[in-house]
Chains A and B, each alone.
Chain A
Amino acid sequence: MESYLIAFGVGGAMCALAQLVLDLGKLTPAVVMVLFVVLGALASGLGVYAPLVKFAGAGALVPLPGFGHALVQGVLEDVRAQGFLGIFTGGLRATAAGLKAGIVFGFLMAVIFRPRG
């Protein structure tokens, strides 16, 4: 039960922060999404995102900064394993599941459903 509350609190707080940036900055959602992925990647590089994932679980993995974190961790793992080449292979390898799911399910839904407007 505790893990749910922590995920709720941390994930919700990230979304509220994103909303604050959106409203105060008068930005579009796409810009805020990009911003938070970049922030997640940087936080991951600085080593502060991994402890957050450990603490909050899905609360840190599900919001988009978690996507940035996965991109960076993948790069670091592959650099560790194979050196320079890992900079190129790591990011998309680590996020392949989510990206491919996005492509396949997006495609499938577009075949099945029509937009309602």
Chain B
Amino acid sequence: MSRVGEGTYKLARPVVLMGAGTVVGPKESLGPLGKSFDRVKATDLEGAATWEKAECAFLAEAVETALRKAALDTADLDVLVGGDLLNQLISFNFAARNLGIPAIGLSSACATYAEGIGLLAILIDGGKVGKGAVVTSSHHDTAERQYRYPTELGVQRSPASQWTVTGAGAMVLSGGEAGVRITDVTFGRVIDHGLKDPNNMGAAMAPAAVDTIRRHLRGTRTTLADYDLVVTGDLGRHGLQLAGELLEQDGYRPGAKLVDCGVRIFDGVPDVDCGGSGAACSAVVFGGDLYPRLATGKLQRILFAGTGSLHSPLTFQQGETIPGIAHAVTVEGA
């Protein structure tokens, strides 16, 4: 592994993606990717006593599904890397309690999945870790409770807002040669342009996505022409538009190559306003849609940039602005 730019690392040998596991709630199955997910839950609760327990169970199920597809067992994994949106990463940590895999919890909000993929790839490349998995989860109702209002409160949604994806996505990584692989990683800077509306996270995150994409291209000495797609995590429609404009200001012409997991997962689904968000959003779109397309050669090479909005209800109430972050990886097809 070598450092090739500000926060950008080129792996010495590719790190291979061995299997994905995706679990989603009922609303996520209504979108265009509905049939791409491994498990679709009939309800957001699925018999659990609380939303939080349900989210935790979804996270564990995503890991188990990914392991099954990779033909591995929990004992084969050296580490489990990941996180969620809830305080103290309760979904991740409480699921890890039962899985028994050494756990590294990360907290970059919705950028956690890309952050985990990048970090685990570097650990494997460094030879210290053989195999590991990345997993993130989010849940519409646990997020509403923590960040906004009680779920039964009758409030209008802002048209700039996004709908937190209910679900979890896991990916098993290993050293190797053949298969879908990670080749480059860029860790994001925390970027804040002074936006304050927690109901418009896309606009707050877009500059972070652009900053990371720009540094990744510069560090890896690639251009947009080298990628089939540039995929952002959960900017939503408004954030995606702003990110496109910022890239154009810098002389890039992303055009239709720039797509967003949050826009894609809920395309055509009512009541989601600007699209999906949440730590599971990019995880299930990557695992359920992008990864299979890379594995079958339909996509050759993509730039995957998970985006996160780093505010909390406390910082919002104290009048703080909303910082954003984005972590990016280059993924090459089989």
Residues on A lying within 8 angstroms of B by beta carbon are 26, 29, 115-117
Contacts and interface: CB of A to CB of B under 8 A. Distances in A.
9 contacts: A26-B197, A29-B155, A29-B156, A115-B151, A116-B151, A117-B45, A117-B140, A117-B141, A117-B151
B32 interface: no
A52 B250 CA distance: 60
B44 interface: yes
Contacts of A26: 197
Contacts of A29: 155-156
Given A117-B44, A117-B140, 6 more contacts: A26-B197, A115-B150, A116-B152, A117-B141, A117-B144, A117-B151
A117 B155 contact: no
Classify the interface of chain B: helix, strand, loop or mixed. Answer: loop
- Secondary structure at the A interface, as helix, strand, loop or mixed, is loop
Contacts of B197: 26
A116 B51 CA distance: 10
Nearest to A28: B155
Nearest to A117: B141
Give me the 10 closest cross-chain CB pairs, A-B, nearest first.
A117-B141, A117-B151, A115-B151, A115-B152, A117-B44, A29-B155, A117-B140, A117-B51, A115-B150, A116-B152
Instruction: Give the one of A26, A29, A117 with max B CB within 10 A.
Output: A117
A117 B163 CA distance: 12
Interface string B35-46: 000000000110
A115 B54 CA distance: 14
Contacts of A116: 151-152
A117 B197 CA distance: 23
B52 to A, nearest CB: 12
Nearest to B152: A115
A26 B140 CA distance: 23
A64 B274 CA distance: 32
A115 B156 CA distance: 18
A47 B45 CA distance: 52
Contacts of B156: 29
B301 to A, nearest CB: 39
A115 B49 CA distance: 11
A117 B45 CA distance: 9
A29 B44 CA distance: 26
Contacts of A115: 141, 150-152
Nearest to A26: B197
Contacts of A117: 44-45, 51, 140-141, 144, 151
A117 B166 CA distance: 11
Nearest to A109: B152
B96 to A, nearest CB: 25
Interface in B175-204: 197
Interface string B217-237: 000000000000000000000
Contacts of B155: 29
B90 to A, nearest CB: 18
B315 to A, nearest CB: 16
Interface string B115-147: 000000000000000000000000011001000
